């Protein structure tokens, strides 16, 4: 898996089991914080990582492995030291 660059790719597509869609027509997760690619974050991150009883992991950073994630390429151009 590639390093997470906070592109928000996965959260824009659909919420993880901890999230919730913005609406029936907008499937992006309502718990995505930040204003632009490279600054996005999960507002439920602490809740998720502290939940020892859950077998569900939202796979933070997995969207950064997707070849369809054009935001990742733009972020890497701005900050070449990131993976």
User: What tens digit of pLDDT does each residue of 13-50 get?
Assistant: 888 888 999 999 999 999 999 999 889 999 998 888 88
Comparison of pLDDT for 74 and 57, the residue scoring more: 74
Flag whether 14 is in a domain: yes
- Answer yes or no: are the C-beta atoms of 66 and 2 closer than 8 Å: no
| Number of domains comprising the chain | 1
Res. 78: pLDDT tops 90: no
Flag whether 3 is in a domain: no
User: What pLDDT is recorded for position 82?
Assistant: 47
Cα(27)–Cα(74) distance, rounded to whole angstroms? 23
User: What pLDDT is recorded for position 60?
Assistant: 67
Flag whether 48 is in a domain: yes
Domain housing 16: 9-78
In 3D, which of 79, 75, 82 has the Cα closest to residue 34? 75
Flag whether 4 is in a domain: no
Flag whether 2 is in a domain: no
Q: Residue 41, Cβ neighbours under 10 Å: how many?
A: 15
C-alpha count within 13 angstroms, C-beta hemisphere, residue 79:
13
């Amino acid at each position: 898996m590639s390093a997470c660059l906070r592109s928000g790719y996965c959260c824009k597509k659909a919420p993880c089991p901890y999230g919730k869609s913005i609406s029936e027509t907008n499937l992006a997760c309502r718990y995505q914080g930040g204003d632009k690619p490279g600054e996005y974050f999960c507002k439920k991150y602490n809740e998720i990582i502290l939940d020892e009883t859950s077998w569900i992991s939202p796979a933070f950073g997995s969207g950064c492995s997707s070849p369809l994630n054009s935001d990742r390429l733009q972020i890497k151009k701005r900050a070449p030291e990131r993976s």
